[in-house]
A and B are shown apart, each in its own frame.
Chain A
């Protein structure tokens, strides 16, 4: 039986030796230098089918697909698959001129028919973004290089949508195939193609430079996008150079990486956090029907303390849902509601709710951590509003949006640089206005904004924004500062109106 002992000793020695050896040759698997760009993200795309695309997952799609219009980092539009675009006088027809030299891998030409097929499918597949094309009544193929979108009513955000998910163009030949091949084998005209051998869907997507790209390619031979479900792993990857670029949302993680050697950072304010009051008609919570009650909630909340304690001061207090890059934005509205519990109690009394009322709020713990939950409960409790939190898992968010079971919800939401995107998301009846509430002022202003050329809509938009703030449609807390971080090898240009940079916004650091 001596053999056993010897064997055990040998195994132990091997394990130790192997560990030491590995330590000596320990080099990461991620690329460095300018041949591979390794991006880390907390966003998991549902699939790589454009029908499933949405804003924060856009870089995944930009690798393999082109959009009709390209959106530059400052939010302006540039030619991509469409070389020119023009509205008619009443802004109900948008004529696009297309490139004539683009083909999909199997030889299928990219032309007007392909645009029509893509956009019709986009609506039919009813992905999260399908609503963005709800104003498109029909798509007319003029000839191979010209296509016209006929709109039921003007939509000032249409160009934005064509530079976003709705503008992604896939190979129409893949539409008829069974089993949705685009979900796992994307087929577009983009600068990269998916390297299925090195890809593990759900954790790592590897892209290699497309053999023939019609445009000017990006500066990297390969791009990998790695999904993480926590920022700790991501920060460690940045510190060791295994990850070249990422966005950090968490204030503590930001603080932990700022002083690391070699790490470079760029700040950006994109998402705002706030309490969205859906039920302004008082269907579920009658108290919310009264403007004074909604104003009282705004006065009751101590935003400054929340920002300092919950986010280490990383952000800007705001009372408006429009972002700083929009025409509607008015700086003075950021501080319209001072923290004033006495005034809040007075407003509640005037509204006939001096005895307070109960507000049931859904809670997704990832968005509303304990500190935020108790802070809101305390602030609102002081003026007599009793907050009861009901924890729901992200899978049951349907109860909020589908069954309209709650009057309000705390969320982190993007602030688009395009005014009409914000209007479409939060003001017109739809996902975030599921009770379909509106009022006379809004009904009067919206058509004016829709019909005006974008450059002339400013005053109407500012009036709308001011009304939404003063009528307390929402309870925004603050815009959150996000931090773009790089291991020092990449220069990152933030994208206006997007939490993550476009794939085109990365370049080797000089």
Chain B
């Protein structure tokens, strides 16, 4: 298991390098005259050239990249060209917001989908199963932004139970943090709960049909024990895979939710800084995203391996 993790980490590191180089190449298009953008159209060409030289943009792309790597491995991602912020600090203040959302949604999705999916699968055709079917279709069919807007209007504007916008840091006030992330998490969870519940339900039904379950029943094991000890364990692996894929997909959904709730997360930052071509910030954001995706995939694989020894490919 440990060697498996070590190999995956090594592969992740290689991936970081490859993606950082490709991103750098893509961002180094000659048309992106950063100096001109920074100084405005009123500046003379001499000033623009001097600015580009100051930023080191007059060097070859490879030299620029190696310079970036040399600093990045020491944790120095430079400063934003446009706002003068330290990139690490800027991302540091926004990362907790997005991570709060992603982790929150993943937990809520995992717990709710497991409970609902198992219940629906075990009691097929019962009232809970029917309800789950209806909700799943609704959760799938409704576009994310519509769900989010409805949630804001109902729970924040009309009922006033939660704030409509903004974010409070966990360290600042845990209860404030919870009240500001609840609605965004709820908004993002609707779609993923709908998807995963169906997945769990199908897996449970599939496992219940297996011969060994019939054998266990014949031996007189109590149904609850069969379900939680055997069925859930075998149904969990495909569900975890879906959850991992969903988590990565959430990065896109988070952009929208952060905009509607006015949350100072990475989503809005990515949009704002990318359109301006702020390369130090974009590079760091790409690295953070790759790191998150690699980590999630690793965690999912380890969990699946732990649940199901057969999946541990040596």
B156 within 8 A of A: yes
Given contacts A2-B228, A22-B179, A126-B43, contact A393 B162 (CB under 8 A): no
The segment from A84-92, A227-235, A307-315 found at the interface with B is A227-235
Residues on A with beta carbons closer than 8 Å to the beta carbon of B107:
11, 15
Residues on B with beta carbons closer than 8 Å to the beta carbon of A1:
228-229, 233
Complex CA distance for A128 and B43, rounded to whole angstroms: 9
Best-surrounded residue of B40, B94, B173, B182 (most CB of chain A within 10 A): B40
Smallest beta-carbon distance B120→chain A, Å: 15
Q: Which of A26, A30, A201 contacts B90 (CB 8 A)?
A: A201
Near A by CB (< 8 A), chain B positions 168-220 give: 168, 173, 175-176, 178-180, 182
Complex CA distance for A243 and B166, rounded to whole angstroms: 10
Given contacts A47-B84, A236-B156, contact A22 B182 (CB under 8 A): yes
A203 within 8 A of B: yes
Given contacts A2-B228, A19-B182, contact A232 B114 (CB under 8 A): no
B284 within 8 A of A: no
A23 within 8 A of B: yes
When the two chains form their complex, are residues B260 and A230 in contact, meaning their CB atoms are under 8 A apart?
Answer: yes
When the two chains form their complex, are residues A236 and B79 in contact, meaning their CB atoms are under 8 A apart?
Answer: no
B112 within 8 A of A: yes
For this complex, into which size category does the number of interface residues on chain B fall? Answer: 35 or more
When the two chains form their complex, are residues A47 and B82 in contact, meaning their CB atoms are under 8 A apart?
Answer: yes
When the two chains form their complex, are residues A202 and B264 in contact, meaning their CB atoms are under 8 A apart?
Answer: yes
When the two chains form their complex, are residues B228 and A184 in contact, meaning their CB atoms are under 8 A apart?
Answer: no
Residues on A with beta carbons closer than 8 Å to the beta carbon of B79:
179
Q: Which of B94, B111, B165, B175 contacts A22 (CB 8 A)?
A: B175
A176 within 8 A of B: no
A204 within 8 A of B: yes
When the two chains form their complex, are residues A200 and B94 in contact, meaning their CB atoms are under 8 A apart?
Answer: yes
Complex CA distance for A393 and B41, rounded to whole angstroms: 17
Near A by CB (< 8 A), chain B positions 250-280 give: 259-262, 264, 268-269, 271-272, 275-277
Residues on B with beta carbons closer than 8 Å to the beta carbon of A18:
178
When the two chains form their complex, are residues A236 and B152 in contact, meaning their CB atoms are under 8 A apart?
Answer: yes
Complex CA distance for A44 and B276, rounded to whole angstroms: 12
Residues on B with beta carbons closer than 8 Å to the beta carbon of A46:
82-83
Dominant secondary structure of chain B at its interface with chain A: helix
Residues on B with beta carbons closer than 8 Å to the beta carbon of A229:
259, 268, 271-272
Smallest beta-carbon distance A314→chain B, Å: 22
Best-surrounded residue of A4, A203, A242 (most CB of chain B within 10 A): A203
When the two chains form their complex, are residues A398 and B83 in contact, meaning their CB atoms are under 8 A apart?
Answer: no
A21 within 8 A of B: yes
A438 within 8 A of B: no
A127 within 8 A of B: yes
When the two chains form their complex, are residues B264 and A395 in contact, meaning their CB atoms are under 8 A apart?
Answer: no
In the complex, residue of chain B having the shortest beta-carbon distance to the beta carbon of A13: B111
Smallest beta-carbon distance A54→chain B, Å: 10
B53 within 8 A of A: no
Complex CA distance for A203 and B94, rounded to whole angstroms: 10
Complex CA distance for A44 and B268, rounded to whole angstroms: 12
Residues on B with beta carbons closer than 8 Å to the beta carbon of A126:
39-40, 42-44, 47
A25 within 8 A of B: yes
When the two chains form their complex, are residues A401 and B41 in contact, meaning their CB atoms are under 8 A apart?
Answer: yes
When the two chains form their complex, are residues B93 and A200 in contact, meaning their CB atoms are under 8 A apart?
Answer: yes
When the two chains form their complex, are residues B83 and A29 in contact, meaning their CB atoms are under 8 A apart?
Answer: no
Complex CA distance for A261 and B168, rounded to whole angstroms: 26
When the two chains form their complex, are residues B160 and A128 in contact, meaning their CB atoms are under 8 A apart?
Answer: no
Complex CA distance for A240 and B179, rounded to whole angstroms: 14
Complex CA distance for A130 and B40, rounded to whole angstroms: 9
Complex CA distance for A127 and B42, rounded to whole angstroms: 8
Complex CA distance for A179 and B84, rounded to whole angstroms: 8
When the two chains form their complex, are residues A8 and B115 in contact, meaning their CB atoms are under 8 A apart?
Answer: yes
Near B by CB (< 8 A), chain A positions 150-185 give: 179-180, 183-184
When the two chains form their complex, are residues A402 and B36 in contact, meaning their CB atoms are under 8 A apart?
Answer: yes
A394 within 8 A of B: yes
Q: Which of B152, B163, B260, B268 contacts A27 (CB 8 A)?
A: B163
Complex CA distance for A164 and B135, rounded to whole angstroms: 56
Smallest beta-carbon distance B118→chain A, Å: 10
A384 within 8 A of B: no
In the complex, residue of chain A having the shortest beta-carbon distance to the beta carbon of B114: A8
A131 within 8 A of B: yes
Smallest beta-carbon distance B172→chain A, Å: 8
Q: Which of A4, A179, A183 contacts B83 (CB 8 A)?
A: A183
Q: Which of A22, A183, A430 contacts B162 (CB 8 A)?
A: A22
Near B by CB (< 8 A), chain A positions 25-69 give: 25-30, 44, 46-47, 49
When the two chains form their complex, are residues B165 and A242 in contact, meaning their CB atoms are under 8 A apart?
Answer: yes
Residues on B with beta carbons closer than 8 Å to the beta carbon of A203:
94, 262, 264, 268
Complex CA distance for A229 and B272, rounded to whole angstroms: 9
Q: Which of A21, A130, A183, A226 contacts B84 (CB 8 A)?
A: A183
Given contacts A30-B166, A202-B269, A203-B268, contact A431 B84 (CB under 8 A): no
Q: Which of A27, A180, A232, A430 contacts B179 (CB 8 A)?
A: A27
Q: Which of A8, A29, A49, A230 contacts B168 (CB 8 A)?
A: A29
When the two chains form their complex, are residues A233 and B259 in contact, meaning their CB atoms are under 8 A apart?
Answer: yes
A239 within 8 A of B: yes
When the two chains form their complex, are residues B228 and A29 in contact, meaning their CB atoms are under 8 A apart?
Answer: no
Q: Which of A8, A226, A402 contacts B41 (CB 8 A)?
A: A402
Smallest beta-carbon distance B160→chain A, Å: 7
Residues on A with beta carbons closer than 8 Å to the beta carbon of B264:
200, 202-204
B33 within 8 A of A: yes
- CB-CB contacts of B34-54 with A at 8 A, as 1s and 0s? 001101111110010000000
When the two chains form their complex, are residues B163 and A26 in contact, meaning their CB atoms are under 8 A apart?
Answer: yes
Smallest beta-carbon distance A393→chain B, Å: 6
Query: Which 10 residue pairs of A and B lie closest in terms of their CB atoms, listed nearest first?
Result: A183-B84, A203-B264, A236-B164, A28-B163, A233-B262, A126-B43, A22-B178, A22-B179, A237-B165, A240-B164
A residues within 8 Å of B by Cβ? 1-2, 4-5, 8-9, 11-12, 15, 18-19, 21-23, 25-30, 44, 46-47, 49, 126-128, 130-131, 179-180, 183-184, 200-204, 226, 228-230, 232-234, 236-237, 239-240, 242-243, 393-396, 398, 401-402, 430-431, 434
**23 residue pairs A–B, Cβ–Cβ below 8 Å:** A1-B228, A5-B224, A12-B111, A21-B178, A22-B182, A25-B179, A29-B176, A127-B39, A130-B40, A130-B42, A131-B42, A180-B84, A184-B83, A200-B94, A202-B90, A202-B272, A228-B165, A229-B272, A233-B259, A237-B166, A240-B156, A242-B166, A431-B41
Question: Knowing that A26-B161, A204-B264 are A-B contacts, what are 16 other residue pairs whose CB atoms are under 8 Å apart, sorted by A's residue number?
Answer: A11-B107, A12-B115, A15-B108, A18-B178, A22-B175, A23-B161, A27-B163, A28-B164, A47-B83, A130-B40, A130-B42, A130-B43, A131-B42, A232-B260, A236-B156, A237-B262
